[in-house]
Amino acid sequence: MNGGTVGSAYAATLKASGGTPPYQWTLKSGTLPAGVVLTAAGSVKGTPIAAGTAKSLIFEVLDADKNRASSSNLSLVVNPEVPPTVLTSVLQNGNVGVAYSATLTATGGTKPYSWSVKSGTLPEGLSLDSATGAITGVPTKPGTFPSLVFDVSDFYNSVGASGSLNVKIDSAIQVSTTSLPSGKQGTTYAANLIATGGSGVYTWSLKSGTLPPGLSLNSSTGAITGTPTTANIFNGLVFEATDADTATGVSGPLRVQVYNTAGCSAGADDNLGTQSFAFLIKGFYPSSTDLAPMTMIGSFTPDGQGGIIAGEGDMNSPSGAQSALTIIPASSSYTFGADNNGCLVLATSAGTLNLHFSVSTPKGWNAFTQGHVMLDDSSGTGPRGTGILRLQDPSAFGSGLTGMYAFLFAGTDATSGNFGMVGSFTAEGGNFTNLALDADDAGSLLTSVTGGTGAYSSTDTHGRGTASFAMTSSGSNYSLDTVYYVVSSTEMLFASTDPLATTPICSGRALATDSTLFSAAFLKNSYIAHATGLVAGDAPEVVVVAASFDGVSTGTGSLTQDYAGTVSRWPVGVSYSVDATTGRVVLAGNFVTPVGYLVTGFNGMSAVLLGNDYPATSGTLELQQPSPEPASAVYSMGTDDDADYLTTNQVGTFNLTAANFSGTENMSYAASPFLLENQLVSNSFSLTGNGTGTFWGNDAVSTGSVIYFINEEGGANTHPSIISVTK
């Protein structure tokens, strides 16, 4: 008989002759192969399921007359089937952390197939589905996995094997670019996106966000190039890198800041609003002593579109005072960016001021209320200075000075000595009464002077007025003429207008206070203090303090001093008492102790302070919040007070999150490069539960909404300053 094959249909027909048809066939002896049967008509058919030889097969035929005949011994050979053939010759690569899927295929044999790994090891995280041949999973480790051989078995257990295959698992694609450089409007820009992992060859795309107009992304190289045409901050840029195996990696949200043609933040001018701001700047002109003092004070009103509607200013310097200078709107302007940084140009008949400024997080009514301001001098020939910016409350202009105030004025005298004065006074009906003060002019002291008087004018439409103070001590008469600008009913900015030859050029603030609260019990909390002074020989000295007072008579804490680059730290223990009439605080303890005057009517401020020492160290005592660790927010930062011309000035904004900050600052130096703009910075800070610690690696104290740190520069800064970081 013809042979058959396992798994293949078999058919043969038995034949007989003679007798009387029809015939009927039966198997007289022997056994047909499994899967094969004999029909009565003589058909041997079926699908063999096992290889082998069926021997001694004798078939019997019966005709219609019941005559019988038998065949000879026959055999039926069933050959093994042709085994299946694996078609898969290459396995695709994969990536760690990215779902992998490949399916093995075969032909021949008899389905269904069953798959197995004959040799080699699949990458970790992958598995083989024996029924479908699918290799799936999420690879967990990179590497090349060689010599993988897969077996395929068919229904009849015929086995075929693949060739030796490899699977390469690349590391996950990671976009390593975490920041993009800033650009300048109208200036060629170039940046390159970088990724690692995957196959190493990427196609780049912008997944979300919009590039600045004028810039484009090269999908092959990841280069961002072009010439930006619009000044603004372009946030939320997310880039995707796709490799040859279609694995992807995405960047975190990035931003590109485009500065205007002058190098200033721009694009959000309307955010500044249209309410007037007052400013106060203390600084110095270049001179042989580096101590030629100047002050600038004034008010300006933005129009919300980059213009200045109106304003007024006053200046004082060794060449004399310039008073009530009208700010010229046509020649004045500002730009402001979404990073809360801006530039300000204020033109008057006396010349033009160029400034950088920053403002802190808006308050609940969505208005910027405070910030820092710095004079720009890119030539090294102009004045250098730093100061504060305050949103004015025009409703307080009419009443002007009314009530009781504590004040702190600081400056420099004609012989380059540091000057400070603290005190309190009552203002009513254009007159000052109950003037009490302590002054320190490079160690020449006026101590606990009382009974002073004075007069002040009403304010104009910019909140400006004039004020004069007079006092007598030990038979000598003293006077001080000033200009002041109203910030609010609780805060006034002052600057002296007297000639330097007769009176130190000084400036400062007067803050609302209330004599009904003048007692030792007012100081019963945790506080921080910061102060600046100047030692003979032009050696600045700055201190930060954290202290707690018991509300009775004692206080304890810690102090850090930077004296011309030498940093010292020691514990503080003091006793104190408060004068119930003037609010004067007398402190005595284990270091050079200041005298203070209580501030009871201005949020966060507790006292103004003045050291009775040659440096005439002056500063403020501020109340700590219950949690002095700063919250995540955008903070305005700036140099608090210049002690001399050589002090480095800074202004900018920091975005604080957890224990880190990042932001942009502008730097003013006494030497080349003089002005350094738009410096991207990031670092860490660590402030403990008592509000002390470090910021940017420098000694720092915090109220919770303001951080003060010493610009120590690792002890290398011989002209240190206090930097204020204000929420």
The secondary structure of residue 516, as a DSSP letter, is G
CA distances 489 to 321, 429, 456, 500, 605, Å, are: 27, 15, 15, 30, 15
Q: Is the pLDDT of residue 225 over 80?
A: yes
- pTM for the model: 0.80
| pLDDT score recorded for residue 637 | 97
Q: Which residues pair with 54 in a beta bridge?
A: 76
| pLDDT score recorded for residue 244 | 86
Cis amide leading into 139 (omega within 30): no
> Torsion-angle region of residue 456: left (phi > 0), alpha (psi -120 to 50) or beta?
beta
The 3-state DSSP class for residue 611 equals strand
| pLDDT score recorded for residue 656 | 94
Report yes or no: 128 and 25 within 8 Å, Cβ to Cβ.
no
Show the CA angle centred on residue 273, arms to residues 378 and 342, nearest 5°: 20
E strands in 92-132:
94-95, 100-103, 106-107, 114-119, 126-128
Distance CA(688)–CA(699), nearest Å, equals: 12
> Torsion-angle region of residue 226: left (phi > 0), alpha (psi -120 to 50) or beta?
left
CA distances 5 to 27, 43, 50, 86, 161, Å, are: 21, 17, 8, 21, 21
The 3-state DSSP class for residue 520 equals helix
| pLDDT score recorded for residue 364 | 56
In this predicted model, what pLDDT tens digit does every residue of 113-162 receive, in sequence order? Answer: 999 999 999 999 999 999 999 999 999 999 999 999 999 999 888 899 99
| pLDDT score recorded for residue 61 | 95
Distance CA(424)–CA(433), nearest Å, equals: 10
Distance CA(273)–CA(517), nearest Å, equals: 37
Q: Is the dihedral of CA 579, 583, 588, 589 positive or negative?
A: positive
Domains 4-79 and 269-394 alike in fold: no
Cis amide leading into 571 (omega within 30): no
Which letter, b or e, does each residue of 313-345 get, where b requires 16 or more Cβ atoms within 10 Å of its Cβ? bbbbbbeebbeebebebeebbbbbbbbbbbbbb
How is domain 269-394 classified at the architecture level of CATH?
Beta Barrel (2.40)
Look at residues 586, 587, 585, 558 and name the one whose alpha carbon lies nearest to residue 574: 587
Terminal C-alpha separation, the chain: 101
Lowest mean pLDDT among 115-119, 191-195, 376-380, 619-623: 376-380
In this predicted model, what pLDDT tens digit does every residue of 645-702 receive, in sequence order? Answer: 999 999 999 999 989 999 999 999 999 999 999 999 999 999 988 899 999 999 999 9
- Mean pLDDT throughout 577-603? 92
In this predicted model, what pLDDT tens digit does every residue of 493-521 receive, in sequence order? Answer: 999 999 999 999 999 999 999 999 999 99
The 3-state DSSP class for residue 719 equals coil
The secondary structure of residue 580, as a DSSP letter, is T
Report yes or no: 103 and 109 within 8 Å, Cβ to Cβ.
no
- Mean pLDDT throughout 594-602? 96
Report yes or no: 352 and 261 within 8 Å, Cβ to Cβ.
no
- Strands 74-79, 4-5: parallel, antiparallel or unpaired by DSSP? parallel
What is the length of the chain?
727
Lowest mean pLDDT among 68-82, 360-374, 417-431, 508-522: 360-374
CATH topology of domain 174-259: Immunoglobulin-like (2.60.40)
| pLDDT score recorded for residue 363 | 61
Name the amino acid, one letter, at 414.
A
| pLDDT score recorded for residue 366 | 62
User: Structural domain boundaries of the chain?
Assistant: 4-79, 85-170, 174-259, 269-394, 397-483+493-511, 517-665+684-726
Domain 397-483+493-511 classification at class level: mainly beta
In this predicted model, what pLDDT tens digit does every residue of 18-61 receive, in sequence order? Answer: 999 999 999 999 999 999 999 999 999 999 998 889 999 999 99
In this predicted model, what pLDDT tens digit does every residue of 665-679 receive, in sequence order? Answer: 999 999 999 999 999
Give every strand in the sheet of 215-217, ordered side by side.
Answer: 189-192, 223-226, 215-217
Look at residues 491, 506, 440 and name the one whose alpha carbon lies nearest to residue 641: 506
- Mean pLDDT throughout 312-330? 97
Lowest mean pLDDT among 201-205, 360-364, 393-397: 360-364
Query: What's the chain's Rg over C-alpha atoms?
Result: 44
- Mean pLDDT throughout 363-377? 84
Q: Is the pLDDT of residue 425 over 70?
A: yes
Instruction: Report the CATH number of the 85-170 domain.
Output: 2.60.40.10
Residue 330 phi, psi (nearest 5): -65, -25
| pLDDT score recorded for residue 593 | 81
- Mean pLDDT throughout 157-168? 94
In this predicted model, what pLDDT tens digit does every residue of 20-29 receive, in sequence order? Answer: 999 999 999 9
Q: Is the dihedral of CA 432, 433, 438, 441 positive or negative?
A: positive
**How many other β-carbons are positioned within 10 Å of the β-carbon of residue 221?**
12
What is the band of 365 on the pLDDT scale with cuts at 50, 70, 90? low
What is the band of 268 on the pLDDT scale with cuts at 50, 70, 90? very high
The number of angstroms, rounded, from the C-alpha of 31 to the middle of its chain's C-alpha atoms is 86
Instruction: Report the CATH number of the 4-79 domain.
Output: 2.60.40.10
High-pLDDT (> 70) share of the chain, %: 99
- Mean pLDDT throughout 598-625? 95
Question: Which residue's entry shows tokens 């590391």?
Answer: 171
User: What mean pLDDT is reported for the chain?
Assistant: 95
What is the band of 8 on the pLDDT scale with cuts at 50, 70, 90? confident
User: Which two three-digit tokens encode residue 476?
Assistant: 């000598």
User: Which two three-digit tokens encode residue 166?
Assistant: 């490899």
Residue 395 phi, psi (nearest 5): -65, -15
**How many other β-carbons are positioned within 10 Å of the β-carbon of residue 574?**
19
What is the band of 164 on the pLDDT scale with cuts at 50, 70, 90? very high
The secondary structure of residue 173, as a DSSP letter, is P
Q: Is the pLDDT of residue 2 over 90?
A: no
Distance CA(104)–CA(714), nearest Å, equals: 64
Report the half-sphere exposure of 514 (CA within 13 A, side-chain side): 9
Per DSSP, the residues of 491-503 read EEEEEE-S-TTTS
What is the band of 367 on the pLDDT scale with cuts at 50, 70, 90? confident
- Mean pLDDT throughout 249-266? 95
Report yes or no: 360 and 370 within 8 Å, Cβ to Cβ.
yes
What is the band of 399 on the pLDDT scale with cuts at 50, 70, 90? confident
Q: Is the pLDDT of residue 714 over 80?
A: no
Distance CA(425)–CA(513), nearest Å, equals: 9
- Mean pLDDT throughout 582-599? 90
Query: At 307, which helix (H) or strand (E)?
Result: none
Q: Is the pLDDT of residue 357 over 90?
A: yes
CA distances 388 to 90, 371, 461, Å, are: 70, 6, 21
